[in-house]
Chains A and B, each alone.
Chain A
């Protein structure tokens, strides 16, 4: 029965915690942490803590220039679709205890929901009438076909071992059998690289490669729309880190409430540190090299990880 309390609770989940406000604040914080870590590892001072918020506010206050000949409605609505998809996906991931809405098969649902922002990037590039944006859009789609398969395969491995398609239950399985996390290490590394591709960070940032195609899919975006696109990317980082945390590292490790939230924060910070490390240590590769890397190296390795998990599952019984 739906009461005012349950409607209020749902609205809090969606807009405050773990919904929009939490995603926005934590996303901006993670952006700052990533930039600061990158700077220190490159021997620089780096931006102060309020820099991502200042960037967001500055972008929102700037004029929005919409190119002539582009698809107006799609151009203006796409950032909000991206944010909506990420907001939906965080409701299925365990942030402070069990996920607010979990069901059997929500692993597939989360993978699908996290694909939506990438499709909005493609449509953003496609609907701007600019040669740079068109090339950026084509690269987004090519990259999607490259990293999506290793990502899905590496997430299926732990699911097979845990014997369930429900993310909260997978996290619960690894909380109960903490030593089973060790054989998942190759799958975890593959998922990290695939997440780096999804977030379009070096070495996989060809879609919006500044040096080659100016802004890629975001070339014609400015002002408020660009601010929300960047916010969508930051939120995607939170959701991606939360997904990897839940599937490979045991979620909140059995704690609940404030303690569970603290465990979540600590582990997602660790994942972001690893992502920053990958970003700093490499240069950008070409799109054809990325497709070759994902299909010739990462996909077979993740298949190997699945076989290992099947073997372990048969051993456990």
Chain B
């Protein structure tokens, strides 16, 4: 059965209800608590096993030996010197990363975590390469 302008009632009603869109840059967008955004790195937990590099589908993450290594702990009386725990840096390419959080899942020491930041667009190419120390 054909009814022209069947949507008319809905359309007139919408003049009075709250709008579904928001003025985005001026009003913040809300994301879920488990949203997969930028990946953060905690240097004190990383052991340098590089499992994350093997898991990454996009070759976005790189683990390197840090430039400043911590000094070894002072040896106890008569005991052999204990070598210091090596410190690693993480270099994340935000433009290659696909935010799948596979590295987060596979890290044995939980040194990587998924944050909720997604507003990562920038005009500066160098800012796309994050160097976590």
Contact = CB atoms under 8 A, between A and B. Distances in A.
Partners in one complex: yes
Interface of A: 40-45, 277-278, 280-282
Nearest to A280: B11
Contacts of A42: 11, 14
B17 A43 contact: yes
Interface stretch (B2-10, B38-46, B57-65): B2-10
Contacts of B21: 43-45
A281 B20 contact: no
Nearest to B24: A45
B4 A43 contact: no
A45 B15 contact: no
A8 B11 CA distance: 48
Contacts of B17: 43
A42 B15 CA distance: 9
Given A41-B11, A41-B12, A282 B5 contact: yes
Interface string B49-85: 0000000000000000000000000000000000000
Contact of B14 (A43, A45, A278, A282): A43
B7 A281 contact: yes
B19 interface: yes
A85 to B, nearest CB: 32
B122 interface: no
Interface residues of B, number: 14
A42 B11 CA distance: 7
The 9 A-B pairs at the shortest CB distance, nearest first, are namely A281-B5, A43-B20, A41-B11, A44-B21, A281-B8, A45-B21, A41-B14, A280-B11, A43-B14
26 contacts: A40-B14, A40-B15, A40-B19, A41-B11, A41-B12, A41-B14, A41-B15, A42-B11, A43-B14, A43-B17, A43-B19, A43-B20, A43-B21, A45-B21, A45-B22, A45-B23, A277-B8, A277-B11, A277-B12, A278-B5, A281-B5, A281-B7, A281-B8, A281-B11, A282-B4, A282-B5
Contacts of A41: 11-12, 14-15
B19 A44 contact: yes
B84 to A, nearest CB: 57
Interface of B: 4-5, 7-8, 11-12, 14-15, 17, 19-23
Contacts of B11: 41-42, 277, 280-281
A71 B12 CA distance: 46
Given A40-B19, A44-B21, 11 more contacts: A40-B15, A42-B11, A42-B14, A43-B19, A43-B21, A44-B20, A45-B19, A45-B22, A277-B11, A280-B11, A281-B11
Most buried by B among A40, A43, A277: A43
A45 B22 CA distance: 7
B10 to A, nearest CB: 9
A281 B11 CA distance: 7
Nearest to A37: B15
Contacts of A40: 14-15, 19
A48 to B, nearest CB: 9
B9 to A, nearest CB: 10
Contacts of A43: 14, 17, 19-21
Contacts of A278: 5
Contacts of B14: 40-43
A280 B7 CA distance: 9
A221 to B, nearest CB: 31
Nearest to A281: B5
Contacts of A45: 19, 21-23
Contacts of B19: 40, 43-45
B7 to A, nearest CB: 5
A282 B4 CA distance: 8
A283 to B, nearest CB: 10
A281 B4 CA distance: 9
A44 B7 CA distance: 16
A77 B12 CA distance: 41
B26 to A, nearest CB: 11
A214 to B, nearest CB: 27
B18 to A, nearest CB: 9
A29 B74 CA distance: 78
